[in-house]
A and B are shown apart, each in its own frame.
Chain A
Amino acid sequence: MDLSETAEMAAFRGEVRAFLAAHAGDYEAGAARAPRAWQDLLIRNGYAARTIPKAYGGYGAEPDILKSRIIAEAFIAAGAPRGIANQGVSMLVPTLLEVGSEEQKQRWIGPTIRGEVVWCQGYSEPGAGSDLANLQTRAVEDGKDFVISGSKIWTSTAAQAQMMFALIRTEPQAAKHEGISYVLIPMDTPGIEVRPLKTMTGGAEFNEVFFTDVRVPQDQVVGGRGRGWFVANTTLKHERGMLGDPNATEARLNALIALMKAETVDGQRIIDNPIFRDRLMQLQGRVFAMKFNGLRLFTSRLSQEPAGIAGLIVKLQGCELNHQLAALAIDALGELGVLYTDGPHLRAKGRWQWNYMFDLGLIIGGGTAQIQKNIIAERGLGLPREPKPAAA
């Protein structure tokens, strides 16, 4: 256990800070989305697409998760917009680097990391949620093309995306997990219809995507026909890690503490109510535990040792904790907590209610809490799988 920083890393931190100070005029502090020029500047200096090879438009540095973390911390501290981290960058690009053809890498990685091409992910279907491998959207061969029919659901950014990376059943005769291919599909192909999926938040954070005889060249398959399940699984792990980010959780805890200190009932601060204060302290203990669990996982990655249970629990515990923080904020606000849209008494733009509703979706999405428990029990604790029911 030694949480101090080496001289080399301290120097690197100084470098990143100096960069941000020198370019303070090039971005708007706290802005969620940075302009294209900012992204290009970040890539040139190694603060975005850092480990992507130069040949594909990246910065070409050796992977160094310690430096990546220092970059992230310095950007957060300065309120500077981070490099683009959409599904194309975080899921498609690593997949292409691992299993893509040279032509696919050349064609897609550069535009994706520069933000010129936005991707959406086409995995889930109405009949393939937890049982994702049951997906039925199928491709039929026609000359050099595939002709795709079916539908996808829970597709974020489908309306903005130019491209989709999708799991499609291309080998109907093969076994369930072996008949799927990972296919790249232009969203402007005739036969694709995107319908926004309105959720309980009132927004449409997801979409349904319908495919009617959508024609895609067969060379758009990544990693080989019938290999899609295995290709996708390498990157699903990254998504689960993203969903339980302890830094985001700690930021939310701090916002909740500020809220409870600022808000009053009958002139008494919420924080001075012992019941609410105890609920806050219970959650703070859990937030700290998950934060240190995160540091432990980080060290495991550095030393390339398996993380075991500590890694398997992050999605389950992290999402639940975020949800409970939102729940306490709503309870602390009481009747104020039910206000949601613009009005004189609205707090935090209704963000806590939005989080409470949206985060329930995160508990369900990316592998439900129940699926996570199966994974922890089977892979982590070695408990036996549920036997398959005998055919009726």
Chain B
Amino acid sequence: MDFALTQDQRLMQESLVRTLEQASSLERVRRFAGDLKDKGADVWQALTAFGLAGIVVPEEHGGLGLTMLDAALASEALGAAIAPVPFMGVVLGPIALLRGGTAEQQAEWLPKMASGAVMAAAAISEPIAGARDGAGVTAKDGKLTGKALFVPGGLAAGLLIVADTAGGLHLVKGDAAGLTRTLMPGIDETRRLADLGFEDVAAEPLNSGDGGGGPELLAALRDAGWVLVAADSLGAAQVMLDKAVAYAKERRQFDRLIGSFQAVKHLCAEMAAELEPCRSLVWYAAYAFDAAPAEASLMAAHAKALTSEVGRFVARTATEVHGGMGITDLLGLHFWFKRLGLNRQLLGGPERVRELAARLQGLAA
């Protein structure tokens, strides 16, 4: 019985945090947020050098061959640094190919993903979070038609994993004819969401791997996505809490450090008390993805829903502890606030995710 990170995992995460301090400082993130021409290439390059591009790609395809828990720890560090890197596709792309791709598809794409030459993005919002504004993609005779919204990293991805309205999944090349990609400007300018348009776009089906195609593969991508978003929120919320505590230890009013007032210190204690159990739940959900498949979906759902709720609480409370400074652009706290705001809705808000959690246990029709 060992419910803890290994020494290797701790070192990997600490080392990634240090890499991100250099590669994705707040000043760097600000530049990315303020300039749509900035693609964050240097950030991605630093992370590729770290090995992140191939984190879940097997070693025989040039990757690190690590687990979902390792990917979640990386996602946590990226969330803490509000890094402008669409990491979800970096993990979901290889998982889609490993579980649903042919040997040829794997041989073609996995090495390119592991080297960082091709970044993948997953267009799975409609079947998971629900279709909005009539979005949805239909597949017919190897061609896709329709719309997929809210695709993180979808603007620049070289490979798209696209879910159709029947639950099937497809590979689409980033330069395929008939594919249009438009930015959906949102609150979190460190994450660029794409509106993808398909007009008879050539696609290859993903349905021959061990996991089978269709619902099971889609469920695996959903679970992985939920775990990664949950971990990203955990990292972002922990930074907001740490910043609030640091501020409460230096800011003086009424001749006292504000952190000595119980009204302020109890806000900090409540944030810590809510957030710390999320860490254990995220670890377990990530572990279950590989090691306890029967529980994986339920735990991923709860990890996503709970970090969404706690993330919102921490985001507003940590901002409040900073007083007026908390809402200024100068401090930059709002970047984490907005990341948590995005993560809450991405791949389904907590209400929708919990309804699915109930269904998974046979508690809802």
List chain A positions with a Cβ less than 8 A from chain B: 1-3, 5, 9, 66, 69, 257, 261, 271-272, 274, 277-278, 280-282, 284-286, 288-290, 292-293, 295-296, 298-300, 302-303, 309-310, 313, 316-317, 370, 372-374, 376-378, 380-387
Contacts and interface: CB of A to CB of B under 8 A. Distances in A.
Given A1-B4, A69-B1, 9 more contacts: A1-B3, A271-B363, A278-B354, A289-B302, A310-B277, A310-B279, A313-B276, A374-B262, A377-B269
A88 B120 CA distance: 62
Q: Tell me if B's interface is mostly helix, strand, loop or mixed.
A: helix
B203 interface: no
Contacts of A381: 245, 265, 268-269, 272
Closest 9 CB pairs of A and B: A289-B277, A292-B280, A281-B354, A373-B269, A377-B265, A285-B302, A295-B3, A376-B269, A289-B281
Interface residues of B, number: 48
Given A277-B358, A293-B277, A373-B269, A383 B1 contact: no
B4 A281 contact: no
Contacts of A282: 305, 309, 354
B287 interface: yes
19 contacts: A1-B2, A1-B6, A9-B1, A271-B363, A274-B355, A277-B364, A281-B302, A281-B305, A284-B302, A289-B281, A292-B284, A299-B4, A373-B270, A376-B269, A377-B272, A381-B245, A384-B249, A384-B257, A386-B261
Given A277-B363, A386-B262, A1 B272 contact: no
Interface in B201-251: 245, 248-249
Contacts of B256: 387
A9 B266 CA distance: 42
Nearest to A310: B276
Contacts of A387: 256, 260
B283 interface: yes
Nearest to A376: B269
A184 to B, nearest CB: 36
A303 B3 CA distance: 11
A288 B5 CA distance: 19
B187 interface: no
B13 to A, nearest CB: 13
A274 B269 CA distance: 32
B273 interface: yes
Interface in B252-309: 256-257, 259-262, 265-266, 268-270, 272-274, 276-281, 283-284, 287, 291-292, 299, 302, 305-306, 309
Contacts of B305: 281-282, 285
A378 B279 CA distance: 21
B2 A299 contact: yes
B363 A278 contact: no
B212 to A, nearest CB: 27
A317 B245 CA distance: 20
Contact of A288 (B273, B276, B299, B354): B299
Given A277-B364, A374-B262, A288 B281 contact: yes
Contacts of B249: 382-384
B330 interface: no
B265 to A, nearest CB: 4
A236 to B, nearest CB: 19
Given A1-B2, A2-B2, A384-B257, A293 B268 contact: no
Interface in B325-365: 351, 354-355, 357-358, 363-365
Contacts of B357: 281, 284-285
Contacts of A313: 272-273, 276-277
B260 A299 contact: no
A302 B3 CA distance: 10
A247 B268 CA distance: 27
Contacts of B245: 381-383
Contacts, number: 159
B315 interface: no
A5 B4 contact: no
B69 interface: yes
Contact of B306 (A257, A286, A296, A384): A286
A324 to B, nearest CB: 13
Contacts of A261: 363
B277 to A, nearest CB: 4
Nearest to A278: B354
A277 B355 CA distance: 8
Interface in B1-33: 1-6
A380 B269 CA distance: 8
A73 B299 CA distance: 22
A66 B2 CA distance: 10
A231 B266 CA distance: 28
A139 B266 CA distance: 37
Nearest to B264: A383
B355 A289 contact: no
Nearest to A383: B259
Interface in B84-110: none
- Which of A1, A316, A370 gathers the greatest number of chain B CB atoms within 10 Å? A1
Given A309-B272, A377-B266, A1 B259 contact: no
Contacts of B261: 386
Given A3-B1, A383-B249, A289 B259 contact: no
Given A3-B1, A374-B262, A384-B260, A296 B280 contact: yes
Given A1-B3, A272-B365, A373 B355 contact: no
B298 to A, nearest CB: 8
Contacts of B358: 277, 280-281
B85 to A, nearest CB: 25
A310 to B, nearest CB: 5
A368 to B, nearest CB: 12
A292 B276 contact: no
Given A66-B1, A282-B354, A293 B302 contact: no
Among the interface residues A3, A272, A290, A382, which one has the most CB atoms of the partner chain B within 10 A? A3
Given A1-B3, A296-B4, A384 B259 contact: yes
B283 A1 contact: yes
Nearest to B286: A1
B266 to A, nearest CB: 5
A2 B283 CA distance: 11
Nearest to A300: B4
